[in-house]
Chains A and B, each alone.
Chain A
Amino acid sequence: MSSTSTAPGGDRPLGRSLRRRVEAAAGLVVAVGLLLIGWQAVHLQYGELVMPSLRETASAMARMAQDGTLASAALRTGLHALAGFLLAAALGLALGLSAGAMRICEVVLRPVATILLGVPAIAWVVLALLWFGSTPATPVLIVTLTAVSIPFLAALEGSHTVDPQLVEMARAYRAGRFGVLRDVVVPHVAGHLAPALAAAFGLSWKVAVMAEVLGAGAGIGEGLALARVNLDTATAMAWIVLTVALLLAVNGLVMRPLTGRFGHWRPPR
């Protein structure tokens, strides 16, 4: 059923993990290279208006970086995405765990979550703008409404799949209600939750940009909308590159290590 290896310290061999990292880095470089080549090819074929050259985009980006628009827009979008995400995570987790513990909560909340999941993000943008107008809270609310179902369903699923044998064992060893929660339920649910939170953050980031494009607030999306009005493709591409780069950076530097922390006890895949 399982391997009999007993590596010291309980970690997988260093050599293998290092090789994987090098492989992943090389793959990333090749993928980005291919995308850039494709980008430049489209530019050469269809011209400046359809697709700006790499050089043109880079200089648009440098210009915005210099006058500070880039940083302030990134900061605002980041705030919208992060605030919305944190709200969604806290709300989803609390409701998901209650639904897992109480049947009545689940019966009511599960359909609500499913319906929320089905409402297109764009519908929330329209509704939020109608309800609240363009306030700083509008993009945050849009993000929260769009993302909340993901942590909710993950927490619910997690609390349903807790191993009853482990719960019985903990009770046999006199762990109280709190002990069972701390030693059995929470670690199990955390394993389900970490990847869901990473997915929810990615969604939050994209929805924040989208909400800004449609006028819900200042940020990267606002810049994108302005570039569209001016038919300035180079600036638009610069914003898009910034959006993707920031999302990848947050995923790689924050979300991935965080997910790893919750999964360290799992057998290596």
Chain B
Amino acid sequence: MLRDISLFLAGPGVTAVIGPSGCGKTTLVRIAAGLLPPAEGGVRNGFGRTACVFQEDRLLPWRRIADNVALGLRAAGVSRHARARAAAAALQRVGLTDEDGRSYPHQLSGGMRQRAALARALAVDPDLLLLDEPFGATDFVRRQRLMAVLRSLARDNGKTVLLVTHDLTEAAALAETIVVLAGGPGRLADVVVPETLPDDRTPADIIALTGRLAGVLASGPDPAGTTME
């Protein structure tokens, strides 16, 4: 899937990974999360706590949303009371209500479930947050708000975020560093570090940066045979 990739994340801030579909973006996240051992090389994770948001919401259908959100805390041995408080705070941060927290996953829309999955990651107060296309099912307005949440995590809470996305605008709006992968097998095409910091970028900057990223993607070392998502 992936070949000759070495990635060093020095927090805080957002690093985005973009690339054509099938270039191994998801594999990269799974390796970083320690869920998949790399065939060669290794992963050194110096961050205290790591949390992962998958492409699918992966909520337990038999647990209420609040219990799903508290899942990582339970494994960490946090008391029931503290778990409930942390879960409620995380839900509020992604714009879900206490009532949503009492629902079962099947009672919420796809976008709400996706936000619950993000809340589950936020609840463990991770130092490193791994996000694999986390906003797939969310509508435009929600997406803007969640992006603001991510920026605030990086800026105000000093967190490190690795964001895998196929949306160039998302990468252009959020990331300090943008890693561009090329397909078949996935390898590093370019690393783009824009002059402006994400919080200082104007809409015009973001549009220009998106265009620049599209250019890098199109002129990747192996343009033949790769398809854009």
Seen from chain A, the residues whose Cβ lies within 8 Å of a Cβ on chain B are: 1-10, 165-166, 168-176, 179, 183-184, 187-188, 191, 265-267
Contact = CB atoms under 8 A, between A and B. Distances in A.
Contact of B58 (A4, A8, A169, A176): A169
A4 B110 CA distance: 8
B212 interface: no
A169 B34 CA distance: 12
Given A169-B58, A187-B60, A10 B75 contact: no
A172 B62 CA distance: 19
Contacts of A187: 60, 62-63
A25 B51 CA distance: 50
B133 interface: no
A183 B103 contact: no
A121 B95 CA distance: 58
Given A2-B109, A4-B109, A10 B104 contact: yes
Contacts of B33: 172
B106 A266 contact: yes
The 10 closest A-B pairs by CB, nearest first: A173-B72, A169-B58, A4-B109, A187-B62, A265-B62, A174-B75, A267-B106, A172-B52, A10-B103, A175-B75
A264 to B, nearest CB: 8
- For B33, B51, B75, B109, the residue with the greatest tally of chain A CB atoms inside 10 Å of its CB is B75
Interface of B: 33-35, 51-52, 54, 56, 58, 60-64, 71-72, 74-76, 99-100, 102-110, 112, 120, 124
A267 B75 CA distance: 28
Given A173-B72, A183-B71, 10 more contacts: A3-B107, A4-B108, A10-B103, A168-B58, A170-B71, A175-B74, A187-B62, A187-B63, A188-B62, A267-B106
B107 A174 contact: no
Contacts, number: 79
B110 A2 contact: yes
A4 B54 CA distance: 21
A2 B107 CA distance: 7
Contacts of A1: 110
Contact of A8 (B35, B74, B99, B109): B99
Nearest to B137: A1
Contacts of A265: 61-63, 104-106
Contacts of B54: 165, 169
